[in-house]
Amino acid sequence: MKEFRVLWITLLVIAVATPIGLYLPRLMKAGAAWGEWGLDEIAHMIGYTPAGMKKTADTWKAPLPDYALPGQEDAPLSRLSLSYILSALVGIGACGGGGYLLARWLTGRRGKSRA
């Protein structure tokens, strides 16, 4: 675990820095964060909503929409910042846990085939 200390510290710093994505667009009066536009924002930006976006817009529902806890979507920035950090930690945990389980499964299978 010692060899991964720098990785974990880096991931923690990135998770704590995620609220920058909330503050910068508001400070620069840029609207939503880049790439996080909804159908209405796309229509406003380019003048129409692409048919493919309309068709697939409701295909996936995020577990934490807008990176906020349920009912907290319009909360003050300070509370949303905590939700962003929580979302980042959940994402890091899910990806790290999935990677760990995959590695265990792959190394377990390889070990059995050699015997």
Report pLDDT digits (tens) over 32-63: 777 778 888 899 889 999 999 999 988 888 77
- pLDDT value at position 102? 94
Q: Distance between CA atoms of 39 and 55, rounded to whole angstroms? A: 11
Which one-letter DSSP state was computed for residue 66? G
- pLDDT value at position 69? 80
Which one-letter DSSP state was computed for residue 71? T
Q: Distance between CA atoms of 73 and 93, rounded to whole angstroms? A: 23
Domains of the chain, residue spans: 2-114
Report the predicted TM-score, pTM, of the whole model to 2 decimal places: 0.69
